Amino acid sequence: MKWVVLFSVLSMAVCVLALSLNGFAVETSLLKVQVLDSEGRPAEGAKLFIYGSSNVKRQADFISPMSGSDGRMLITLPAGKYWGVARLKKDGNYGPLMPGDKHSGEPVEIEMEAGRDTDASFVVADIREVGQKKRADAADSVRLWGRVVDAQGNPVANAYVFAHRAKDVDYVPDYLSAWTDETGNYSLSIPATGRYFVGGARQFPLTSKITVAKEIGPAPGKSDIALDIQLIVY
Over residues 144-153, the pLDDT tens digits come to: 999 999 999 9
The 10 Å CB-count burial string (b at 16+, else e) for 88-125 is bbeeeeeeebebebbbbbebeebebeeeeebebebbbb
Phi, psi of 3 (to 5 degrees): -65, -35
Residue 53 pLDDT more than 80?
yes
Contact indicator for 126, 160 with CB cutoff of 8 Å: no
Provide the pLDDT for residue 170: 81
For 118, residues 6+ apart whose C-beta sits below 8 A from its C-beta are 29, 30, 31, 32, 110, 111, 112
Residue 230 pLDDT more than 80?
yes
Provide the pLDDT for residue 138: 52
Residue extent(s) of CATH 2.60.40.10 domains in the chain: 2-125
Residue extent(s) of CATH 2.60.40.1120 domains in the chain: 128-230
Q: Residue by residue, what is the 3-state secondary structure of the chain?
A: CHHHHHHHHHHHHHHHHHHHHCCCCCCEEEEEEEEEECCCCECCCCEEEEECCCCCCCCCCEECCCCCCCCEEEEEEECEEEEEEEEECCCCCCCCCCCCCEECCCCEEEEECCCCCEEEEEEEECHHHHHCCCCCCHHHEEEEEEEEECCCCCECCCCEEEEECCCEECCCCCEECCCCCCCCEEEEEEECCCCEEEEEECCCCCCCCEECCCEECCCCCCCEEECCEEECCC
Other C-beta atoms within 10 Å of 166: how many?
13
Mean pLDDT across the stretch 60-85? 95
Report pLDDT digits (tens) over 170-201: 888 888 998 999 999 999 988 888 899 999 99
Provide the pLDDT for residue 224: 87
Contact indicator for 160, 180 with CB cutoff of 8 Å: yes
Q: pLDDT above 90 covers what percent of the chain?
A: 50
**What is the homologous superfamily of the domain 128-230 according to CATH?**
Carboxypeptidase-like, regulatory domain (2.60.40.1120)
Rg from Cα positions in the chain? 20
Residue 23 pLDDT more than 60?
no
pTM metric for this prediction:
0.68
Mean pLDDT across the stretch 114-141? 77
Residue 19 pLDDT more than 60?
no
Across all residues in the chain, what is the average pLDDT?
Answer: 83
Provide the pLDDT for residue 105: 86
Mean pLDDT across the stretch 166-171? 88
The structural architecture, per CATH, of the domain 2-125 is Sandwich (2.60)
Residue 137 pLDDT more than 90?
no
Mean pLDDT across the stretch 41-54? 94
Mean pLDDT across the stretch 95-109? 85
